[in-house]
Amino acid sequence: MSALIIGGTGTTGRLLAPLLPGARIGTRKPLHDNHVRFDWDDPATFDGAVDGVDRVYLIPPVGVADPAPAVESFLSRARHVRRVVLLSSSAVPESTTGMGALPALVRSMPEWAVLRPSWFMQNFTGDHVVAAGVRDGEIVTATGDGRVAFIDAADIAAVAARALTDPLPHNTDHLITGPQALSYAEAAAVITEVTGRPVRHRSVSTEELTERLATGLPREFATILARLDEDIRGGAEDRVTSTVEDVTGRPARSFRDFVSRTSTG
């Protein structure tokens, strides 16, 4: 087995890499022997990255409103690849263009799985806008009291590893959530309790959030993200699945456990 992990330096990919010894990591800036140059914006890198590979973990172009043309072009050069596992999202319905068009492309491969994780717990750490809110003591969203069953990226990586290596292909969509749906106010309260640092949540309108996000992102993408918050406000993410336990044999990590672990390093 020889795997290519696109986004192998990113949130889920870097947690998946240790679970797939010998995997090749696609990155725009190769630094190590197991790295290969891969850039969604440079199709000339596709052939070299996928040469000799029989399975691919596919993170689509990040922050792009319509990643389908690039993914279609990549898959057309990856016809020798047996299995593709796509990282999609629970928040993205199937459609003919945009992110929602990607599952249909991947299902054309001989073996496949589509991962549909809920929102990442890792958004509360690192560079994400929610993490900046945690540092400022105020998380700003347009989600109102809507709940999200936040998922640890390590649990997504564990499901991805099984989807890539199980002898029988999964050939299915996996809706992946954490064990409990929380509003952002409830998540902020957990952070406050566990870390002792006061963090609160303020909900704004979809329009106000779009304006805030558009200061750092292309407006088209800011609009998409703000609308996803609106969906959360309407209850779209208020659901819990047993996928992590069903696929890996162990339960998904709770948000409290995640915060305890990250706040103590």
Ligand X SMILES: NC(=O)c1ccc[n+]([C@@H]2O[C@H](COP(=O)([O-])OP(=O)(O)OC[C@H]3O[C@@H](n4cnc5c(N)ncnc54)[C@H](OP(=O)(O)O)[C@@H]3O)[C@@H](O)[C@H]2O)c1
Binding positions for ligand X, rule: CB under 6 A = 7, 9-13, 27-29, 38-41, 59-62, 87, 89, 117, 119-120, 123
CB of 227 to ligand X, least distance (A): 14
Nearer to ligand X, 198 or 235 (CB): 235
Nearer to ligand X, 123 or 203 (CB): 123
- Residue, CB closest to ligand X: 10
Given the DSSP bridges, would you call strands 83-87 and 55-58 parallel, antiparallel or unpaired?
parallel
Based on the number of CB atoms within 10 Å of its own CB, is 42 exposed (0-12), middle (13-18) or buried (19 or more)? exposed
Q: How far apart are CA 259 and CA 244, in angstroms?
A: 19
Nearer to ligand X, 38 or 255 (CB): 38
CB of 11 to ligand X, least distance (A): 3
CB of 75 to ligand X, least distance (A): 15
CB of 167 to ligand X, least distance (A): 27
With DSSP H G I counted as helix, E B as strand and the rest as coil, what are the percentages for the chain, rounded to 5? 40, 15, 40
Dihedral sign (CA 78, 167, 91, 265): negative
Q: How far apart are CA 83 and CA 170, in angstroms?
A: 10
Nearer to ligand X, 117 or 179 (CB): 117
